[in-house]
Chains A and B, each alone.
Chain A
Amino acid sequence: MTQLATEQTIWDKNESLPREELEALQAKRLKEAVARVYQNVPFYTKKFDDLGISADDINSIEDVRKLPFTVKTDLRDNYPLDLLAVPREKLARLHASSGTTGKPTFAVFTQEDLDTWSDLCARFLYAGGLRKNQFAHVAFGYGLFTGGFGLHYGIERVGAGVIPAASGNTRRQISLLRDLNTETLICTPSYALNIAEVAREEGLDPAKDLPIKFGHFGGEPWTEDMREAIEAELGITAYNNYGLSEVLGPGVAGECPCRNGMHLQEDHFLFELVDPQTDEPVKPGEVGELIITNLTKQATTLLRYRTRDLCVIHEDVCDCGRTTRRMGRVIGRSDDMMIIRGVNVFPSQIEEALLSVEGTTPHYMIELDRPGNLDRVTVSVEIQPHMFSDKMTEMNMLKRAIDKEIRTITGIGVTLNLVQPQTLARFEGKAKRVIDNRFTKEELEK
């Protein structure tokens, strides 16, 4: 346990409610949420009518299992704003999800939602050492992405000074951190390592010469080994947090000073962990897919949203005084989504790009690694006779066309590797298209 644990670190009294009181609050809010969507969201009205249920059937948190799941496709099908649970004029902010094919999905907020969001981000920032007499540097992208703004308002809520540095120009970020004597750094874990590396190139000792004491990292999967590396390199205490734009953005869960899992914000969400094959709850301590129901979000209220993120939930009482349960690191996905430089990418998008350039889908593999702490994607494509030309100019044009199409569809740049037929591995049954060399399963579970 770090030194902070002995101090008062709880931001909101709801974080430490007695369990019965918390669960009674959840049950009350769940019933209200169900009544709200039944009345205002035709998508749910129809689902409830088909299932023959209404808010009257929801009287305890266990009753959540009577409700239908909501999946990512439902959000796309209801593009742009058909899932709104409030009139359009109540919206105060609109964000969108990253790196999806064609249309994004929107993350929308009323003023009340923005207040809640700021509070939820303040909870983990405060737990992780941020105080109002300090500075916090946000090196997340701003714009439509929820990460930058979510953390930004969380810092303001704590009362600290915020430096909205956004992403890019690492040298400038380093001089900003040093010149302003900033205590807290907020970014992706791989970018934190990149900052350390660039600082070394500048002849600095990042642990000594950078003023930061705390870091809050999220937006992509990482491991305990990475945490150790970041802490040693930057000389800080590093905290993990979790969120997704579909139900809020950052602030869904975050670590306390004990750092033994991320406290789930159970007063605002109802969390379940199910076996992705059977949809049945997993036994305590087992890995399952995290399912999230919005209890308080006004602009959109998603019921039983399937995150596809796999993790465990710790039920034991935490030493920090909070009574909320804690989720472990996300150790995988129940679908094949990859998170690359913070952008969500599906193998099907690579397939779509190949199909649109080539008219057919050749056999391909996606390999992920992380040289110099930045994600690299290599797409290997088995060349087919109709793709091959004896002219170098045509071959280079083909490569550029595929590169460009992948960038257009996924939003990320890849290294394209044309290979001979029958040289990539074949797998029985469902094709395994992704080799992720960034971390091993053991590293993720540690």
Chain B
Amino acid sequence: MKIQQLSVFLENKPGQMAGVFDILGSNGVNIITMSTADTEQFGILRIITREWEKAKTVLEEGQFVVNLTPVVAIQVPHKPGGLSSILAIFQKQNINIEYMYAFPCAHTTEAVLIARFEDPDAAIKVVRESENFKALTEEDVFKEKKACEIQS
């Protein structure tokens, strides 16, 4: 149930981020969602895509340092309090979130949360046991994105 995230090291100089998307675009890689973390000096770009194997290869050929990171995609009701209720569950179970990002969709009732856990298997177990949340496969995530795009 874990899905692969591409983590890319970005040097802090103009054009680095554009360089990544140029390579992915010209190789026909579709991005489902992404997030960045920066410091003054460098950044980390996190990307979710179905074509992660190809993306990793072409980015490495372009001299980027790329790691694969297992993350968990969780379907969350897209309404006030949706996010806080899942966070409360993790806190109660003592499950640590390293970082997270989401793609809410204005046209569906669900949002997808991408989260990096210290122990992803424990997190998945908790999600499965919950009532309102669902751990998604790569296929599910892709469908969710498509559904959002079609309706928009």
A-side residues, CB < 8 A to B, are 383-385, 388-393, 395-396, 399, 417-423
Question: B26 an interface residue at 8 Å Cβ cutoff?
Answer: no
Q: Spot the interface stretch: B59-67, B76-84, B129-137.
A: B59-67
- Measured between alpha carbons, how far is A337 from B39 in the docked complex, in Å? 32
Question: B11 an interface residue at 8 Å Cβ cutoff?
Answer: yes
Task: List 23 interface pairs A-B (beta carbons < 8 Å), by A numbering.
Answer: A383-B9, A383-B65, A385-B65, A385-B67, A388-B67, A389-B7, A389-B67, A390-B7, A390-B46, A390-B67, A390-B69, A391-B99, A392-B99, A395-B39, A395-B42, A417-B41, A418-B9, A418-B11, A418-B42, A420-B9, A420-B64, A421-B65, A423-B11
Question: B105 an interface residue at 8 Å Cβ cutoff?
Answer: no
Cβ contact within 8 Å between B5 and A390:
yes
| Interface of chain B residues 1 through 23 with chain A (CB within 8 A) | 5, 7, 9-11, 16
- Assess A388 versus B65: contact at CB under 8 Å? Given A383-B9, A418-B11: yes
Interface centre among A383, A384, A390, A419, by most chain B C-beta atoms within 10 angstroms, is A390
Interface centre among B5, B41, B64, by most chain A C-beta atoms within 10 angstroms, is B41
Supplied contacts A390-B7, A419-B11, 6 more A-B pairs, CB within 8 Å? A383-B9, A384-B65, A390-B5, A391-B98, A392-B37, A420-B9
Q: How many A-B residue pairs have CB under 8 A?
A: 51
Which are the 4 A-B pairs with shortest beta-carbon distances?
A390-B7, A390-B69, A422-B63, A388-B65
Closest to A420 in B: B11
Task: Return chain B residues, CB-CB under 8 Å to A384.
Answer: 65
Question: B31 an interface residue at 8 Å Cβ cutoff?
Answer: no
Interface centre among A396, A399, A417, A418, by most chain B C-beta atoms within 10 angstroms, is A418
Closest to A393 in B: B98
- Measured between alpha carbons, how far is A390 from B69 in the docked complex, in Å? 7
Task: Return chain B residues, CB-CB under 8 Å to A423.
Answer: 11, 63
Question: B44 an interface residue at 8 Å Cβ cutoff?
Answer: yes
Task: Return chain A residues, CB-CB under 8 Å to B65.
Answer: 383-385, 388, 420-421
Query: Least Cβ distance of A347 to chain B in Å?
Result: 22
- Assess A388 versus B39: contact at CB under 8 Å? Given A395-B44, A421-B65, A423-B63: no
Query: Least Cβ distance of A367 to chain B in Å?
Result: 15
Task: Return chain B residues, CB-CB under 8 Å to A420.
Answer: 9-11, 16, 63-65
Query: Least Cβ distance of A9 to chain B in Å?
Result: 52
Cβ contact within 8 Å between A391 and B41:
no
| Interface of chain B residues 38 through 86 with chain A (CB within 8 A) | 39, 41-42, 44, 46, 63-67, 69
Query: Least Cβ distance of B25 to chain A in Å?
Result: 19
Task: Return chain B residues, CB-CB under 8 Å to A422.
Answer: 63
- Measured between alpha carbons, how far is A423 from B12 in the docked complex, in Å? 13
Cβ contact within 8 Å between A392 and B41:
no
Cβ contact within 8 Å between B39 and A396:
yes
Task: Return chain B residues, CB-CB under 8 Å to A399.
Answer: 41
Query: Least Cβ distance of B55 to chain A in Å?
Result: 15
- Measured between alpha carbons, how far is A390 from B117 in the docked complex, in Å? 12
Cβ contact within 8 Å between A392 and B9:
no
